[in-house]
Amino acid sequence: MENAADFQNAIPFTKLTRTFRDAVAVALYLGINYLWIDSLCIIQDSADDWQRESVLMGRVYSGSFLNIAATDSLDGNGGLFRTRNVLAVAPHKLETPWNNHLWGSEELVTGNPHAFNEDVVNAPLNKRAWVLQERVLAPRTVHFARTQLYWECLTQTASECFTDHLPDFIDGVMSKPKLYPPLPEQASRYKSRLLQSWLLLITEYTTRSLTVASDRLVAVSGIASKFQDSFQTFLAGAHEDSSVKYLAGLWSYGLLDQLLWLPHALEQSRNDTYIAPSWSWASQHEAVTYESQKYAPNLGDGLVEVLSTEIETISDPLGQVTSGTLRLKGPMCKVTLADAAEYAEEVIVCTNFGDQRLEISHTVFQFDDPDADREQPLYLLRFYDNADITPDGLMLRPTVRCGEHRRVGIFDVTGDSETTRTRDRFSKIFQDSKVDEHVYEAFDGKDRYTISIV
């Protein structure tokens, strides 16, 4: 804050980092008079200024003329330019001695098929979470990479070697998520693909690093805004309710599948400070994946009904979250994991059949925290009874409040020769099990319990 007034008057060029000086040189060379640099345009030690400006970051990127990416730099001292052998990346063209019967002789261009993956996809810059939003939203990006320059825009990707466009067989060329303006007449066909794109994007986003944990949702809010516009347009075009809510990194449309993310944590993964409710992937500081991301999301009728959703944010409804609650109604049972030493494979033991031990094998229990207490009872909320491409449901543990739970993981009946028999026995648990009264808000008298997850 102390030098904000001085910087409004002038910023000494010599005090800029090497990367910033190089960016100024590129802008001047291209005849661009205005340059946005986050660390200079946002007051770094002002929480108020950060709250105001972070909400607008998506507009900055999407409204820019060109995004200058120091793709090969680890920090501000890395710069844009590299000493290199230009001949090593120059396109080598070969004209075939044979004639194609349609076009005559052919011209072939040789190049390294792994260069884009090595220079851009796996580059230092693209390991940072904030940069995904910049890359996705910017209409044009020039990558100053290790061996050459790369160009990305809304319609193509090119390089110094492949100046027209990178062929599809080049590794990583299809790695950038693309946001196209939705066409209302395509709504019924593409609405599930839009959700699938979001799952893929979140899977990629969570592999990247963040310096400030509280930026977990902020750093993707600009992309979320674009997706929200697309969802509303698609659903309106399909004559469906277009009031899609954004729920701490998830969408109210197709919500059940989005709750079944899989953690990839090797150590304590839940953030120490509150970032998001336990049912959101944003509550984790490690990578998450979705088993359904490779397929059209399973938007069919599940066993769970979403009764209500509630999200509280600091300011931006797509940004930092202060609380979040889901009220769900579905089949639930209480189980305890068996002692792994007793069995050749993991089983569960239902605890609500008196002294009877009902053992169910061929079931996977994946905790969000690898160090979680496995001996304490679990409550299973079953989403699907025949889920081939998604987990079957959530593992929960109750809080001190009546009917309130936190997510602790997912469970899944594995696919093998015993699957049908296992699912039948599993269904019996949910049909016959009786759940303690303090862990639910209401019971329909059959097999559906109303609970809240925070």
Q: 84-115 pLDDT, tens per residue?
A: 888 878 777 777 776 666 555 666 777 788 88
CB 260, CB 394: distance < 8 Å:
yes
What is the reported pLDDT for 142? 97
Would the pLDDT of 416 be above 70? no
What are 429-436's contacts with CB under 8 Å, separation 24+?
429/333, 429/335, 429/350, 429/358, 429/360, 430/331, 430/332, 430/333, 430/380, 430/382, 432/352, 432/353, 433/333, 433/334, 433/350, 433/352, 433/353, 434/352, 435/332, 435/333, 435/334, 435/352, 435/379, 436/334
Would the pLDDT of 5 be above 50? yes
Encoded tokens for 231: 């969802």
Phi and psi at 344, nearest 5°, equal: -75, -25
d(CA 249, CA 201): 11
User: pLDDT per residue over 38-62, tens digit each?
Assistant: 888 887 777 788 778 877 888 899 9
Give the CA distances from residue 209 to residues 31, 70, 127, 249, in Å, rounded to whole numbers and listed in that order. 34, 17, 6, 17
d(CA 208, CA 122): 11
416: left (phi > 0), else alpha (psi -120 to 50), else beta? beta
Q: What average pLDDT is seen over the chain? A: 81
What is the reported pLDDT for 34? 93
Would the pLDDT of 172 be above 80? no
d(CA 143, CA 67): 9
15-19, 220-224, 279-283, 370-374: segment of lowest average pLDDT: 370-374
Query: pLDDT-derived band of residue 408, with 50, 70 and 90 as boundaries?
Result: very high
Beta partners for residue 442, in sequence order: 450
What is the reported pLDDT for 175? 59
Would the pLDDT of 184 be above 60? no
Q: What is the average per-residue pLDDT within 396-405?
A: 96
Q: Higher pLDDT residue, 175 or 67?
A: 67
What is the reported pLDDT for 264? 79
What is the reported pLDDT for 292? 60
Give the Cα-Cα-Cα angle 55, 56, 59 (nearest 5 degrees).
135
d(CA 441, CA 443): 7
Q: What is the average per-residue pLDDT within 237-263?
A: 85
Query: pLDDT-derived band of residue 237, with 50, 70 and 90 as boundaries?
Result: low
Percent of the chain with pLDDT over 70: 77
What is the reported pLDDT for 10? 80
Which helix H or strand E contains 358, and what residues bound it? Answer: strand 358-360
Would the pLDDT of 388 be above 70? no
Would the pLDDT of 352 be above 60? no
Query: pLDDT-derived band of residue 173, with 50, 70 and 90 as boundaries?
Result: low
HEC readout, 220-263: HHHHHHHHHHHHHHHHHHCCCCCCCCEECCEECCCHHHHCCCEE
Query: pLDDT-derived band of residue 354, with 50, 70 and 90 as boundaries?
Result: very low
Would the pLDDT of 362 be above 80? no
Instruction: Residue 263: name the closest of 185, 368, 148 by CA.
Output: 368
User: pLDDT per residue over 308-327, tens digit each?
Assistant: 999 999 988 999 999 999 99
What is the reported pLDDT for 27? 96
Instruction: Residue 405: name the closest of 432, 371, 436 by CA.
Output: 436
Neighbours of 138 (CB within 10 A): 22
Phi and psi at 324, nearest 5°, equal: -160, 135
